[in-house]
A and B are shown apart, each in its own frame.
Chain A
Amino acid sequence: GAGVSQSPSNKVTEKGKDVELRCDPISGHTALYWYRQSLGQGLEFLIYFQGNSAPDKSGLPSDRFSAERTGGSVSTLTIQRTQQEDSAVYLCASSLRGTGLSGNTIYFGEGSWLTVV
């Protein structure tokens, strides 16, 4: 697609429910990132997928959070038993090969705004 696409754009859920957030990266981009941003805060790294390699999950805040990337393209971030502190915007981004010396820019989607009530 033309840009990184995320769905849903807004989600209100009850505490304790599970939610799934979807990200469709730019076509041909092998690197995919999930970040979380709470109101007025910076971007918090969650997880990074690069090609067929095992993902870097070092930023996932608890075992209630998981993510997968099927077929090297679409990714789903799942939050189980949601808590009020999970309320944030969840941003997905992709880049051509991964950042670094090649200077591959990462492009962000518009985010999924999650509110846990």
Chain B
Amino acid sequence: AQSVAQPEDQVNVAEGNPLTVKCTYSVSGNPYLFWYVQYPNRGLQFLLKYITGDNLVKGSYGFEAEFNKSQTSFHLKKPSALVSDSALYFCAVRDIGRGSTLGRLYFGRGTQLTVWP
């Protein structure tokens, strides 16, 4: 079974400092991994994904994520945080099994990022 863990409910960082939001996963095969961001009372916005290839994936708004197979991690990073980055961040892994479950995502519980000025 697929699963995702986000070990931190909250991350606080000062504006201009680097930020990291952690994610670890468990899959039976090769993982398809995603990061989404959610602002209050809004839907989820896609940030980036890892399917194959380079372990460092670049996405929207200056975010990037590093895939580490040996540590089964997919941490989200940004070199310099902005106050506007404050939001709820979700990591997700895709079910790549055959049949009718193809394509469903398993989400972590989310990490609230707060960037203070």
- Indicate whether A and B interact: no
Q: Chain B: residues with CB nearer than 8 A to chain A? A: none
